[in-house]
Amino acid sequence: MVCFQVLNCYSQETIEDLEANAGVKMLRQDYAGAIDELNKIIEINPVNVSFYYQLRGNARVRIKDYEGAIADYEKAIDLDAEFARLYIKIGNVKANNLENPEGAIEDFTRVLTAYPDIPYAYYSRGKAKLKLNDEAGAMADFAEEIEVNPHDPYIGAVWYDLGLTRAGIADHAGAVADLTQSISFDFENRNDSAYLHRGYSRIVLGDDDGAMEDFNSAIGINPANGEAYLIRGAMKAGLSNREGGCIDLQKALDLGTPRAGEFINKYCK
């Protein structure tokens, strides 16, 4: 058989086989092998070739070929505008792997122009803004993410980052409120950090009892949270429970927590 066009030389079954091979290799973390299979599909140039550029971009991210991944995502968009959602992936690569938050913000803004309710875009843009120390812009984006996608499973993480950002600008009452929201979305009760940071803010607000409850909760979730032992121990020692405080401080030291030795010298010698 003479093939005048590459596409005529392959059956749909061949494309499906190559796609299945690529999927298996991705699952086995053989990302270079998956790229080889996807290269073959792209050479065939099927109707939905943008989909395979997207998959190849995903594989390139796994092997840290970030520029190659961006090129694949952009090619997918160039061939089919319906893939404009990939600007989120491009932005995340720029923000998290290439240390280019300015470029990432442009990409997140681009996708939000086309899809204003798309999950993660406001959140991702907010995190990129934090890299540029734009706390006000970040908080506005986090709040917008919560507004447009209030019930998505990841929204607890948005409340968490909003709370930490508020604490960073000394809005501790706002931080407590946001971290409380974050905890309410932690259905598997795994976010010991939310309790830890809410405890910090409660100390600043003079709510020692609430802070102590939060540090207890953080330790209950994660018994290896040395920072929670450290602060709880310092609080106990400072509130006339020196023995209990020193037990906590020693535990913090055993867990390798910085500053534990300093507090032991202060309270336990």
225 within domain boundaries: no
Query: Counting beta carbons within 10 angstroms of the beta carbon of residue 222, is it exposed (0 to 12), middle (13 to 18) or buried (19 or more)?
Result: middle
Residue 197 confidence class, pLDDT cut points 50, 70, 90? very high
127 within domain boundaries: no
52 within domain boundaries: yes
Which of helix, strand or coil describes residue 56?
Answer: helix
Q: Report the distance separating Cα 197 and Cα 218, nearest Å.
A: 10
User: What CATH number did the domain enclosing 56 receive?
Assistant: 1.25.40.10
230 within domain boundaries: no
Domain that holds residue 71: 11-79
* Single pTM value for the model: 0.88
- The whole-number average pLDDT for the span 243-268 is 96
85 within domain boundaries: no
Residue 6 confidence class, pLDDT cut points 50, 70, 90? very low
Q: How many helices (H) and strands (E) does the chain have?
A: 15, 0
Q: Which pLDDT belongs to residue 23?
A: 95
Query: Domain count of the chain?
Result: 1
pLDDT one-digit tens code per residue, 144-187: 999 999 988 899 999 999 999 999 999 999 999 999 999 999 87
